[in-house]
Structure 1
Amino acid sequence: MLLSGLVAFLLLLTAEAKVGDSANVPFCTETEECLLFEPICESEEYEVRHYDSAKWITTEESAFFMDFATMTAFRRLFKYIKDNNVEMTAPVLMKMETKSKYFWERKSFSMSFLLPSAVTDPPTPADAKVKIVEMPETKVYVKRFGGWMMAASAKQQAKSLSASLDSVGAKYESDYFYAAGYNSPMTMFNRHNEVWFVVQDQPVCPSSEEMD
């Protein structure tokens, strides 16, 4: 009976670790709903989170620099949620490759908006460049930072996180990372950004305590 109760509790946690009330995420302050997560562990250099599967709208855009791709991709996704009366959520994700390329080559960037919990059957996008995807549950290494989400700052923070992970022998998807933004472009102060690397195998959290 005790075991059954424990299993039910764990299932409840999993069910809640999707999209929900932003009050459950202290730094998610500008939207009613946010991508919820289960904290696994934390160190001074980074933290590890578990995210359940969730639905997103996503689009790809090629450009010489992320900052140019971001503007076009954001307008495209924002038009979808506006035309379909879908509420904005957080974070906005930008997937970036870490592979070195010549600066004169156009690079491909992928931006995603999280769909609210009420949108279980998303409207089919009118724009062929907008896709609906369901990202699988995953664990990520996370590093937080403030200021504006620019290509240079995102890459610098990702490089710092990568160095911290390499120093402890952590295994992660190193070919790309996610840049996560939680604020409106109109927000001037107290901005919250993150970079994520997807965990491979078991996460490593040196000199840390597992979260309750």
Structure 2
Amino acid sequence: MDQGCRMSGGGGDSQGGGSRVAITLEDLESFTEDQLSDGDENLEEGGAMEEDEQDRLLNYWQDIGRIHQVTVPQDMAAPIQQLTTNTESARDRQEIPFNLITRKEKCGEVLYEKRRYEKANWACVTVQEETYEQTTCLGFMKLMRYICQQNSSGHYLGMTVPIVTVVRTNESRSALSREVTVAYYLPSPHQAQPPQPMDPDITMQEWPPTVVYSRSFSGVTNEHSIMNELTMLVEVLGLSEDRVCEPFIVAGYTSPAAANRHNEIWFLERL
């Protein structure tokens, strides 16, 4: 993978849902005309309920967006609902496969894991805003549209986790660079022939096999928390300045709109 997007996969928190019941031909034949008319009315009510749910989810994301000074536009209502409906639980989200090489623990705490990720196709978008949170939110919204039918297949592609952001620091390593790449791992059925994005800002990239050092952390992901986590991982690994390889990766397993997030910091091994 190139240095601009070398190894980079949040996902979405679940809301809503419900089970589907199959209706057979015999069931339909047993309905009376009155029952069918009632069904039409229920369908209309169901459509109204679906619109209400869209509005509710959109309003929730807009409230979260305002906290981070991000505008969530009206056209995000359908992608937000589709992503939420289709990722009702963690089981509905494919985790990016990797091979665990080693795990370092101390007093029951996992200090870091060393993993190998194989060659794979990713959808990437590079964004530059005033803050890290604004950048990642805008990048993730672009990827949501791609995942939710705005692609050459015209179908919902499926959610994978983690969603990753590729970050760099300034020369003194005291702050994050403004330019960030947000990336989405294509689900297994689409790896061989990735659907092409309709958004010209999104590029499809094949990343080579990569070894990463990963450390988990929870809570918000902003410039302050990421810089702290970068420092902690450097210390845990016992790295000197000349052994710190950029870019770094922030891996998010939960949606940017989630209150409690599961995140990881990844360092790339210098091969």
- Tell me the TM-score normalized by structure 1: 0.72
Cα distance in 1 for partners of 2:103, 2:223 equals: 26
Residue 180 of structure 1 aligns to which amino acid in structure 2?
A
Query: How big is the shift at 1:150?
Result: 2.4
**2:170 and 2:177 in contact (8 A); partners too:** no
Q: Which runs of 4+ in 1 moved over 3 A?
A: 100-103, 168-173, 185-189
Paired position in structure 2 for 1:16: none
Given that 1:63 and 1:106 are in contact with CA atoms closer than 8 Å, whether structure 2 keeps it comes out as no
Q: Does 1:40 align with 2:101?
A: yes
Long gaps (5+) in structure 2? 1-8, 10-88, 106-110
Deviations 1:57-91 (A, max 9, x none): 00000122211111111111111111242111111
How many residues are paired up? 173
The answer to whether structure 1 residue 29 and structure 2 residue 90 are counterparts is yes
Aligned to 1:23: none
Counterpart in 2 of 1:14? none
Cα drift, residue 186 of structure 1:
4.6
Q: CA deviation at 1:122?
A: 1.7
Structure-2 change in CA distance of 1:126 and 1:39 (3 Å) = same
1:156 aligns with 2:228: yes
Percent of counterpart pairs with the same letter?
28
CA separation in 2, counterparts of 1:147 and 1:108? 22
Could you report, residue by residue, the CA deviation over 1:24-54 in whole angstroms, capped at 9, with x for unpaired residues? xxxx936431101111112133110111111
Tell me, yes or no, if the aligned pair for 1:182 and 1:193 is still in contact at 8 Å: yes
Q: Given the two structures, how large is their TM-score scaled by the length of structure 2?
A: 0.57
Q: Give the aligned partner of residue 195 of structure 1.
A: 265
**Aligned CA distance change for structure 1 residues 185 and 109 (closer, same or farther; 3 Å):** closer
Q: Is the CA contact 1:171–1:200 (under 8 Å) kept in the aligned structure 2? A: no
Question: 1:174 is matched with which residue: 237, 245, 253?
Answer: 245
- Mapped to 1, the partners of 2:92 and 2:252 lie a distance apart of 12
Checking the alignment, whether the CA contact within 8 Å between 2:245 and 2:270 is kept in structure 1 is: no
Q: Highest Rg: 1 or 2? A: 2
Letter in 2 for 1:194: E
> Given that residues 172 and 197 in structure 1 are in contact (C-alpha distance below 8 angstroms), is that contact kept between their aligned partners in structure 2?
no
1:49 aligns with 2:126: no
Give 1:170 shift: 9.9
Instruction: Provide the C-alpha distance between the structure 1 equivalents of 2:235 and 2:264, rounded to a whole number of angstroms.
Output: 16
C-alpha root-mean-square deviation of aligned residues, in Å? 2.9
Distance 1:192 1:172, change over 3 A: farther
Against the structure 1 CA distance between its residues 77 and 172, is the aligned structure 2 distance closer, same or farther, given a 3 Å change threshold?
Answer: farther
- Rounded to whole Å, the distance in 2 between the matches of 1:192 and 1:86 is 23
Greater helix content:
2
1:4 alignment partner in structure 2: none
Preserved contact between residue 64 and residue 106 of structure 1 (Cα < 8 Å): no
If each structure's strand is expressed as a fraction of its own residues, which one has the higher value?
Answer: 1
In the TM superposition, what whole-angstrom CA distance separates every residue of 1:94-121 from its partner, at most 9, and x where no partner exists? 0110224799x97211000111001121
Task: Tell me which moved more, 54-63 or 177-186.
Answer: 177-186
- Choose from 134, 139, 157 the match for 2:211: 139
**2:97 aligned partner, one-letter code:** L
Letter in structure 1 aligned against 2:249: Y
User: How far apart, CA to CA, are the structure 2 residues paired with 1:108 and 1:184?
Assistant: 20
The answer to whether 1:98 aligns with 2:159 is no
